[in-house]
Amino acid sequence: GESSDVPWFPRKIADLDKFANRVLSYGAELDSDHPGFTDQVYRARRKEFADIAFNYKHGEPIPEVTYTAAEIKTWNVVFSELTKLYP
């Protein structure tokens, strides 16, 4: 058996499903100083991503996310700038 003074630790990837939702729920609310705090469109989109992650279980097909044109443009800029810094 396991010693009671040793905290639980995942032994296989599927074990992560046992506590992933608790971890994800910690980021559910934005701090009042977050740039998107008052942006309802941002908050709704953030919730869409959080819901996908929250409901995913190991072994299921990885969900597809349809990104908006603005999101694709943003990540293209991020990628371009990062590859300049870390070629």
Using alpha carbons, list the distances in angstroms from residue 82 to 16, 28, 70: 30, 27, 18
CB 27 within 8 A of CB 50: yes
Per-residue pLDDT of the chain (87 residues; tens, 9 = 90+): 555 688 888 888 888 887 776 665 555 677 888 888 898 998 889 888 888 888 889 999 999 999 999 999 999 999 999 999 998
Give the pLDDT confidence score for residue 63 in this predicted structure: 94
- Indicate the pTM of the whole model: 0.66
